[in-house]
Amino acid sequence: MRRALISAACAVATMAALAVPASAEPKPAQAKGEVSEYVVLYKERVPLGWAHRAVREAGGKIVHENRDVGVATVRSDNPEFIHAVMKERALEGVAHNRVIGEAPKTKKKKAAKVERMTGAKSTVSLKGAPSKNEEPLADLQWDMKQIHATANGSYKKEPGDKRVLVGVLDTGVDGNHPDIKPNFNRKLSRNFTHDIPTDANGNEVDGPCEFTSCVDPVDWDDNDHGTHVASTIASPRNGLGMAGVAPNVSIVNLRVGQDSGYFFLQPTVDGLTYAAKNGIDVVNMSYYVDPWLWNCGDNPADSPEDQLEQRTIIKATQRALDFAHDRGVTLISAAGNDFVDYTKTNTDDSSPDFPSTPGEAPHDRTVPASCVSMPSEGEHVIPISATGPSTRKSYYSSFGNGYVAVAAPGGDKVDTADQRPDDKAGIWAAYPERLAKARGELNADGTPNVPYIIRSCKGDDCAYYQSIQGTSMASPHAVGVAALIVSKYGHRDRQGGLTLSPDYVERVLRSTATAKECPSPRTFEYVWYTSTGKHTSTQTCEGTKEQNGFFGNGIVDALNAVGHR
């Protein structure tokens, strides 16, 4: 789950990334005349003119505004801007963003260790020619077999409808990948972020802007995360590579994540409201809103400004979720790769993960269950836990009875006989060729030189696929099933597309899942081995077979979902 990036060479970007202080110590005072950026939340139902006047009176200038939910990016040279905002009756909250022209000394965010775990040697082999009507790499897709999204399963009853629009809120989508392009809706796709190449000291964040505007095209993915997600949802059945859960639906790239993997407040809010206003039926949200893993409104370990910022993130995100849900968008999110029960008190030593001033760092916090990770713990959101090839809950997947709605294949590379990583136990999906070349993962003849990448060719057309794992990979399986539900049971909307109540979609998704009971004993010890030695994690499953903390109402089932009537 998560991460994308933020850069500072494009300091004038209007879709600014939300950054935050990293300790409970007071922040250095803003120097007189120094311009800082903030994200400001308007009071609900306050006339826009009043909110605009309040921002001006606090000493701010609006540089970007989402009027649908009252969230604006604001610049100010007033050192007391935050305090001034909270005196304005028309304004609800404020979060410090970053100093104009300066970003903290932050290394480019590396991919999560969980997602990028790989086998020590190549173990990928195919059994030969695929069966009739199957894609060439279908043999690798244990995940699709687990949920019956196969040529002999759901594809026969309902492969999806092109009129169903699935929004991928992520790091971008490679819309030119041969196994995505046929279903890619370029016209509706948008990028809500700006790249930030380096900080003021020249340290790389997002890396150099590939385009003069520092805004990547809508068919571009410099991270690979969003492309993998899109492929799992809707790679077509075209005789190349592999197919997704819903191979006939349309993919819309709603780029809200940075290249480096950070996901900040303003872009994520903008992506959700855009989806709501443009007929998107289902969205995948495999991220949490940075910089706080859990948002606590009054945690004593955080400074008053940090507490205010977290309250602002909760309120602004929930407004956007409500706006989307009320306009027919089914909201599905990854549950998290944190190994923990979200319904219990936990320890957070990773937040804030992006500082607003140089020298700031995360600090240790005790977070009660009342603290929330957004968007997965937002109202109307369907959180998805991950399973491995054996159908056990994946070792890394977060959980919680009453938190997890359903489970779906997310990969578990140590769900193996010897408890050692095997790429076959991950989730295989599309991978941008451009990134494979840039990362040195291909030989001169185009064949992969790493075990977690495979190539498929049809004539002169070749495409690449990679194996990764995470609840980020589980969520798109559930999204694909939701898209099939809309395809099967939806009705025409005014624009000629299909639509279906998100509450109805959720009911079908839950009621047609395959119930799976807790392990016995309920407190389960995961054991696995890597090059660094033995690893263990002890996790307790609570609840009944029909609903529990590991699997929710069960593992999603594409065939059941389209044949339940």
Among 64, 96, 177, 225, the active-site one is 225
Cβ-based neighbours of 453, under 8 Å, separated by 6 or more: 431, 436, 441, 442, 464, 465, 466, 467
Helix count and strand count (H, E) for the chain: 11, 20
Q: Is the bond into 136 cis (omega within 30 degrees of 0)?
A: no
Q: 3-state DSSP helix/strand/coil percent for the chain, to nearest 5?
A: 20, 25, 55
Question: What's 158-194 look like in SS3?
Answer: CCCCCCCEEEEEECECCCCCCCCHHHECCCCCEECCC
Helix, coil or strand: residue 285: strand
Distance (Å, rounded) from C-alpha 370 to C-alpha 377?
10
Closest CA to 319 of 268, 372, 263: 268
| Strand order from edge to edge, sheet including 250-255 | 190-191, 250-255, 165-170, 282-285, 330-334, 381-387, 406-409
**Number of neighbouring beta carbons within 10 Å of residue 24:** 16
Of the candidates 398, 472, 475, 487, the residue annotated as catalytic is 472
Active-site residue, 373 included: no
477 included as an active-site residue: no
Task: Identify the H or E element spanning 344.
Answer: none
Structure tokens at 74: 């604001």
- DSSP class of residue 138 equals G
> Would you tell me the crossing angle of helices 502-511 and 471-489 to the nearest 10 degrees?
110
In the chain, the amino acid numbered 42 is Y
Known catalytic membership, residue 472: yes
Active-site option among 139, 143, 170, 259: 170
As annotated, the active-site residues are: 170, 225, 472
